[in-house]
Amino acid sequence: MAPDAPAAAPAAPAPDPATAKKNDKKEKAKADKAAKFAAKQAKLKEQQQAQQTAAAPAAPKAPKAQTPSLPPYEDPTPPGDKKKIQPFDHPHFQAYNPSAVESAWYQWWEKSGFFKPQPPRTPDAGKFVIPLPPPNVTGALHCGHALANSLQDTLIRWYRMRGFSTLWIPGCDHAGISTQSVVEKMLWRKQKKTRLELGREEFTKLVWEWKGEYHERINKAQRLMGGSMDWSREAFTMDENLTAATMETFCRLHDEGYIYRSSRLVNWCTNLQTALSSLEVENKEISGRTMLDVPGYDRKVEFGVLTYFKYPIDGTEETITVATTRPETMLGDSGIAVSPGDARYTHLVGKFARHPFTNRSVMHTLALLHSPMN
C-alpha cells in the first residue's frame, strides 16, 4: 500500500489592511530618503570636480596685439604763429590727444596780445579788472587754484565779449614764513642740516633757487590751463618796484603813527624760532586736558588745563583768585579786572594786589566797565 502524501502547509493569514498601509508608507519614506542621499552625493561630486577644474592651471591666453605707442607730438608751427592744422589721418589726431590739440594756440594768443586791455567797444562799456590772488611759491598748483582760475577766467572772457576793457593781472607771492618752512624741511630731508648750520648766505641762495623753480612751474601751469592773463604785467611780490613800494608805505604809516613798536604778546613758533602773524596760526579746539606734540620738544605738552593763582591784596589777609589756560603770561600781569556787577569784589576795587611770584605791588584792581549790546 502506498505511503500517505505529506500534508499541505497551512495558508498564511491575510495581512491586516492597516498594517499593510503602514508598511507601504515606511518603504516609500526609505525610497525618498535614498533618492535624496543619492542626489546630495551627486551634487557633492559635481562641486569637487568643479573645484579641481578651477585649481588646474588655465591655458595661457594669446597675448593681445599691443598698439604701438606714438612718439611725443612735435608741432611744426613756429613759436608764436597761428597753429598749422593737421589732417585727421595724422597719427596724433586719429584720436583725441590733448598735447597735440592744444599745442601752439596759447603762444599765438599771447604774442597777438589778445589778453591785453583794449579800448571799450562802446561808450557805455567800462573797465573790468581782476588781480589774480597770487599763488604762493611754496609749491605747485592744485585743484583749488584750477577752480578759482576757471571762475575768474569765465568772468574776464564774458566781460571781454561784452566789449569791456578787461585786464587779468597774474603774479606770485613769496609767502616768506611758509616758503622758509618748506625749504627748511627740504634741507633737512636732503642734507640733514638746519638753516643755522647752513648759514644765512647759503640758505638765502637755496630759498631763491626754490622760488625760481616753483615760480616757473606755477606760471607754466597757468598758461597750460589757458588763462587769459596779460603776462606783460606779471609780477612777484618781492620784485624791486614792489619791494620799494612796500617799504615806502611801511615808513609812511610808521611816521604817521599807525605802525609802532611796543611790548605785546606774539605767536612764537618754536620750530621756526620767529614770531608769526595771527593769519599763520592754526587754531585747534580741545574739550579738556590734551597732550599735544610741539616742534622742538621731545615730550608732549599739556594743553586745556586751568591754572589758578591767588593774588594777595595789600594791607589785608584777603586774596583774589584768577584762573587761566596760559600760565606763562601771568609773569607780565599788571592789573586785575573784575565785573562791576559782582558783589564779591566790589570792596576790592581800587586796591592793590601783590604778584605771587615777583612780590611787586603794582597790580591795580579795577572794575571792567562794559556797555550793553544792542
Q: Is 130 helix (H, G, I), strand (E, B) or coil?
A: strand
pLDDT score at 42: 87
* Edge-to-edge strand list for the sheet holding 335-338: 335-338, 363-367, 352-353
Digit-coded pLDDT (tens) for 22-46:
777 888 888 888 888 888 888 888 8
User: Please, what CATH class does the domain formed by 306-367 belong to?
Assistant: alpha beta
Mean pLDDT of 179-207: 92
Q: Where in the chain is the domain with CATH 3.90.740.10?
A: 306-367
* Mean pLDDT of the residues in the chain: 86
The confidence band for 153, taking pLDDT boundaries of 50, 70 and 90, is very high
Task: Render 217-261 in DSSP notation, one character per residue.
Answer: HHHHHHHHTT----GGG-EETTSHHHHHHHHHHHHHHHHTTSS--
pLDDT score at 372: 43
Mean pLDDT of 345-356: 84
Pick the CATH number of 113-252 from 3.40.50.620, 3.40.50.300, 3.30.360.10, 3.40.50.2020: 3.40.50.620
SS3 content of the chain, % helix, strand, coil (to 5): 40, 15, 45
Digit-coded pLDDT (tens) for 333-344:
888 888 888 888
pLDDT score at 254: 96
Q: Maximum distance among all alpha carbons in the chain?
A: 168
Q: Which cell numbers hold the place of 58?
A: 588655465
Digit-coded pLDDT (tens) for 105-138:
999 999 999 999 999 998 888 999 999 999 999 9
Q: How far apart are alpha carbons 70 and 113 in whole angstroms?
A: 34
The confidence band for 374, taking pLDDT boundaries of 50, 70 and 90, is very low
Q: Which residue has the higher pLDDT, 213 or 295?
A: 213
The confidence band for 56, taking pLDDT boundaries of 50, 70 and 90, is low
Q: Is 326 helix (H, G, I), strand (E, B) or coil?
A: coil
pLDDT score at 49: 82
pLDDT at 370 over 50: no
Q: Where in the chain is the domain with CATH 3.40.50.620?
A: 113-252
Q: How far apart are alpha carbons 144 and 141 in whole angstroms?
A: 8
